[in-house]
Amino acid sequence: MGLRTPLYDMHLEQGARMVDFGGWDMPVHYGSQLEEHHAVRRAAGMFDVSHMCVIDLEGVATRACLAHLIANDPGKLQSPGKALYSCMLREDGGVLDDLIVYFLAENWFRLVVNAGTRDKDLAWIRAQAAPFGVTVTERSDLAMIAVQGPQARDLAAALLPPAEREQALGLSPFSGAQVGGWFVGRTGYTGEDGFEIVLPAAAVGQLWRDLRAAGVMPCGLGARDTLRLEAGMNLYGSDMDESTHPFESGLGWTVALNPADRDFIGRAALERVKAEAATRPHLSRRQVGLILEDRGVLRGHQRVILPAAPGATESYGEVTSGTFSPTLERSIGFARLPANAADRVEVEIRGRRLAARIVNTPFVRLGKALIA
């Protein structure tokens, strides 16, 4: 038996098929993964994300602690409520985890980290926070529901009193605020607009019922994965981990090397990576989007073959995530390839070499297909 969120019994009552996910018993779907995917793209769906770990950092040196802890620059967070996406790195530049930071007050920041890395992250954060005198509190008293889709914000906000409804709907993208009994983040993992609502665990069951009564469809991990892949969003443990650095994981945009005097963990390693890429680019790797042009489905760990000149040795990469895209009705994926890879490659699937094309990501954003 795995760990369970406060909504576990409700998932069973609603017919969810449960699976193990990072040690948690979580719903993979409630009957039709395809219907759940389309509900989020066309209307509104909700996900139990209470397995995610909410961590509060408090103390006068919290900002300085974060400046050392994460690869992005918390100096960008100047207005209370603003959020920042970043990675925590090892000294060698490997990705320990990706996370969201919310700036709530000068002495109070909130992190949301991945479920599967909870224990590792907490130990790492506490070790880094101790010299700064920063208090680290795991908020296991809280639960979280992600409400996503073009109608998501309106349907969720309608459950609030008028003044709080206006406050929630007034949130700018990638920001959060305490709205009545909810902490509402205008964030998500689907490529659609919506809210991630954090609230006391004792109240989450009623919110789930109210959202369902309002017409929001319960969705599981299956739809969450196809949605995030269409949206060009990485999954920790598949697209990046401790053995990869941000520049080869499509996350270079989350690394802030300015200001030059900010000494974050992993900085020296990333500067060496950048210097080597400039002098020996043929040794670098990059993460790309793939569209499979032959019939088949991309899956993680499939081998990608790069074309070679006659008589030359083939070079290879690997699919890190892959799926069938319900929106595009084609197979899509991410792959880590040599930086000089051409636009056309082949993917080895069940002993066959199938044609694939390198494309920019995201594949889909706000319900619109971006790939021809």
pLDDT digits (tens, 9 = 90+) for 303-346: 999 987 676 678 899 999 999 999 999 999 999 999 888 899 99
163 Cβ neighbours under 8 A, 6+ residues apart: none
pLDDT for 252 beyond 70? yes
Q: What are phi and psi of 240, to 5 degrees?
A: -160, 155
Q: Are 56 and 139 in contact (CB under 8 A)?
A: yes
Q: Give start and end residues of each alpha helix (H) in the chain.
A: 8-13, 33-42, 62-69, 118-129, 152-157, 162-169, 204-213, 221-230, 267-279
Q: Please state, in angstroms and rounded to a whole number, the distance separating the CA atoms of residues 101 and 71.
A: 12
Q: Is 133 helix (H, G, I), strand (E, B) or coil?
A: coil
CA 70-71-72 angle, to 5 degrees, is 95
Token couple for 308: 């070679």
Among 184, 205, 230, the domain boundary falls at 230
Same domain? For 20 and 154 the reply is yes
DSSP symbols for 308-368: --TTSPPEEEEEEEEEEETTTTEEEEEEEEETT--SEEEEEETTEEEEEEEE-S-SEETTE
In a domain? residue 247: no
Can you tell me the distance from the alpha carbon of 349 to that of 313, in angstroms, rounded to the nearest whole number? 21
Which of 199, 215, 230 corresponds to the end of one domain? Answer: 230
* pLDDT for residue 142 is more than 70: yes
CA distance 88 to 108: 18
pLDDT of residue 311: 66
pLDDT, position 308:
79
| Domain assignment of residue 20, yes or no | yes
Residue indicated by tokens 């069973």? 12
On whether both 206 and 352 belong to a single domain, the answer is: no
In a domain, 55, yes or no: no
Give the 3-state secondary structure of residue 25.
strand
Percentage of the chain with pLDDT > 70? 99
Distance CA 231, CA 229 (A): 5
Residues 6 or more apart whose Cβ sits within 8 Å of residue 100 = 83, 84, 85, 86, 111, 112, 185, 187
Gyration radius from the chain CA atoms: 21
* Number of domain units in the chain: 2
Q: 3-state class of 201 per DSSP? A: helix
Sorting pLDDT into bands at 50, 70 and 90, what band is 281? Answer: confident
Residue 320 token pair: 């890190």
Is 21 a member of any domain? Answer: yes
CA-to-CA distance for 317 and 337, rounded, in angstroms?
Answer: 4
Do 156 and 35 share a structural domain? yes
Q: What is the DSSP letter of 114?
A: -
Letter for the amino acid at 115? A
pLDDT digits (tens, 9 = 90+) for 295-304: 999 999 999 9
In a domain, 168, yes or no: yes
Within a domain: residue 220?
A: yes
Task: Give the CATH number of the domain where residue 329 resides.
Answer: 2.40.30.110
CA–CA separation, 47 vs 5, rounded Å? 12
What would the mean pLDDT of 146-163 be, rounded to a whole number? 98
Query: What's the first-to-final CA gap in the chain, in angstroms?
Result: 44
Structure confidence at residue 24 (pLDDT): 96
Distance CA 117, CA 189 (A): 17
Residue listed under structure tokens 């902490």: 183
Distances (CA, A) of 55 to 13, 112, 329: 30, 6, 38
Check residue 15 and give left, alpha or beta (phi > 0: left; psi -120 to 50: alpha).
left
The tokens for 72 are 């992005």
**Rounded Cα gap, residues 144 and 188, in angstroms:** 12
Shared domain check, 225 and 147? yes
Residues 226 and 289 in one domain: no
Q: Letter for the amino acid at 265?
A: I
**pLDDT at 161 > cutoff 70:** yes
Percent above pLDDT 90 for the chain: 93
Q: What is the DSSP string of 48-109?
A: E-TTSEEEEEESTTHHHHHHHHBSS-GGG--STTBEEEEEEE-TTS-EEEEEEEEEEETTEE
**Domain housing 311:** 284-369
3-state SS assignment for residue 240 = strand
Residues 357-365, mean pLDDT to the nearest whole number: 97
Kindly report the CATH number assigned to the domain that includes residue 156.
Answer: 3.30.1360.120
Q: Does 289 reside within a domain?
A: yes
For residue 176, being part of any structural domain is answered with: yes
pLDDT per residue as tens digits for the range 51-108: 999 999 999 999 999 999 999 999 999 999 999 999 999 999 999 999 999 999 999 9
Q: Same domain for 192 and 315?
A: no
The dihedral sign for the CA sequence 267, 271, 276, 282: positive
